[in-house]
Structure 1
Amino acid sequence: MASKSVEGPRNAPVAVVTGSDSGIGRATAVALAEAGMDVGITWHNDRHGAEQTADEVRAVGQQAEVEQMDLARLPEGADAIDRLAERLGRLDVIVNNSGTGTMTPFLELDLSTVRHVLDIDLVGPFLCAQRASRHMIAQGDGGRIINVTSVHEHQPRVGAAPYCAAKGGLGLLTQVMALELAEHGITVNAVAPGEIATPMTGQTDADVTTEKRAGIPLGRPGDAREVAAVIRFLASPEASYVTGASWPVDGGMLRMGPQAGSHLSDDGWRRP
């Protein structure tokens, strides 16, 4: 996990951030670049967005490489991890950020939708982390795996059965990986965002300080950079003794329950 040298050959650590063409992924890629890492960027549909992320990484003096990744096509979708590791020379950090969801009542779900969500949100991260771990073990100097889950890793939401199942599974997978990979110096943690102003929530470039959310104790949605800051810490040498944990970044939503936090329309709950 060395820092970038000023002179001589490059020895910058390398991070791969999946789904980094926008939102939390883009904010994370830029935050890790600002911390001195070269960054591998993946995209599914938005190549232009991924190239914009790469430009931001290069603007702070770090290398960036871009690869398409389709986690609905497994196992070959995970090949992008190996290609990025080869092009960037090594792999020290992987952030499993790619995700999808559905808002469909349980009784109306079809099998293809369930499998699609589980592949992208659970099986895909499993395979990407497995590929990344093998590179880290071969290098012999440890690494960091950070899985972006959700508050729905911990609590349910009506209409999101496969999403909640996948995120809950990824949270427990994180704990198993932390146990099994510790002997190799690899830490594994989850970051569990609440409502964050991103394209996925229909709030692209929103000023979160002007958005009111009665059911969230801090009274607003989060900014993608606030999630990225926690990921940056977990990817850093300072987090070397942190593993197997889930870090909510939710403005206190989990204290309310995500269902209540997103459905309350006034501040009446604040008064006894």
Structure 2
Amino acid sequence: MVKKAFVTGASSKLGRVLSLSLAKSGYDMLLHYNSSLKVIEDLIRKIEEVGKKADLFQMDFLQISNGLSEDFLDFISGAEVIINNASLFERDTFSSFDANSYTKHTTINALIPTLIVQGASSKITLKNVINILDSTLNNESFFSYSASKVLFEYLTKVMAKELAPKVRVNGLSLGYVLLDEGDVPDKLVQKNTLMRQAIHYEQVLSTVHFILQNESIAGSIIQLDGGAKYHQYT
């Protein structure tokens, strides 16, 4: 039987490396993207080069007003693995945020991925969900983003309880990730982590595969952040 994995936000840097890594490990890929078609087409070529297939679904999560469409639910119906990676990350503060900013972040970062898991959980194929979270949420300059990710972490724990033992749901809480070989870690990241360094994306990929291969990991929030000292972030 062909294994399939679904990744949201597959055109982002992290989404691309996650998708290609899953393809290399034997999954045909179901890829969600919003607007970066050229990036996705390049990703498809790379997936096909490793002998796997990739199907696309374009959707702007902010345009969803009445639940997920049947077409979308059909698209993800064969997924054994779901990785909720899509995210909105815009600057605002408690003083400057408004209802629109808060709603946008909550919709993309918490509501839609929860609806995706709810819709897919009725399918017999789904076995694993990994929700991409954020371990550095005390940054006052990203109020709505931080609030939505805190909510999503809570919802991840609820999903895990509701769907076990049929489906394993886990969260991967990331610090600053180096996604290009030329990336230079921010000095604050170096200063405010116990390991004095950012995370390389290969460490993220190895952790994802570890979760998928180890059936004892369920309902966990795994922090991959180099030992961030949260209170020191400004």
**Does the alignment reach a TM-score above 0.5?**
yes
Residues in 2 aligned to 1:40 and 1:48: alpha-carbon distance in whole angstroms: 16
Greater shift after overlay, 77-86 or 95-104? 77-86
Amino acid at match of 2:160: A
User: Which residues of 2 match residues 143-222 of structure 1 at below 5 A?
Assistant: 143-152=127-136, 155-183=137-165, 185-198=166-179, 205-208=180-183, 213-222=190-199
Q: State the secondary structure of the residue aligned to 1:148.
A: strand
Report Cα offsets for 1:168-209 as digits up to 9, x if no partner.
1111111111111114x10000001101235xxxxxx24357
Q: State the secondary structure of the residue aligned to 1:180.
A: helix
Contact 1:22 1:50 in 2 (8 A): no
| Structure 2, unpaired ranges of 5+ | none
Amino acid at match of 2:60: D
Establish whether residue 84 from structure 1 lines up as the match of residue 69 from structure 2.
no
Q: 1:43 — aligned with what? A: 33
Residues in 1 aligned to 2:215 and 2:26: alpha-carbon distance in whole angstroms: 17
* Identity within the alignment, %: 24
Contact 2:172 2:223 in 1 (8 A): yes
Residues in 1 aligned to 2:32 and 2:81: alpha-carbon distance in whole angstroms: 14
Q: How many residues align?
A: 231
Deviation at 1:216, TM superposition (A): 2.3
Amino acid at match of 1:65: D
Residues in 2 aligned to 1:101 and 1:210: alpha-carbon distance in whole angstroms: 19
Residues in 2 aligned to 1:225 and 1:41: alpha-carbon distance in whole angstroms: 20
Q: State the secondary structure of the residue aligned to 1:174.
A: helix
Report Cα offsets for 1:85-114 as digits up to 9, x if no partner.
36xxx2111100000122212111111111
Give the direction of change, closer, same or farther, for the CA distance of 1:103–1:210 in structure 2 (3 Å limit).
closer
Contact 1:23 1:224 in 2 (8 A): no
Contact 1:149 1:190 in 2 (8 A): yes
Deviation at 1:13, TM superposition (A): 1.1
Report Cα offsets for 1:48-90 as digits up to 9, x if no partner.
111122222212111111111211122568446424336xxx2
Establish whether residue 112 from structure 1 lines up as the match of residue 91 from structure 2.
no
Determine which structure has the larger helix proportion and give its number: 1
Establish whether residue 128 from structure 1 lines up as the match of residue 116 from structure 2.
yes
Give the direction of change, closer, same or farther, for the CA distance of 1:96–1:214 in structure 2 (3 Å limit).
same
Report Cα offsets for 1:224-262 as digits up to 9, x if no partner.
33222212222x2x3212111111111111xx11x52x5
Amino acid at match of 1:37: Y
Q: 1:267 — aligned with what? A: none
Give the direction of change, closer, same or farther, for the CA distance of 1:210–1:158 in structure 2 (3 Å limit).
closer
C-alpha RMSD over aligned residues: 2.1
Amino acid at match of 2:104: H
| Structure 1, unpaired ranges of 5+ | 1-10, 199-204, 264-272
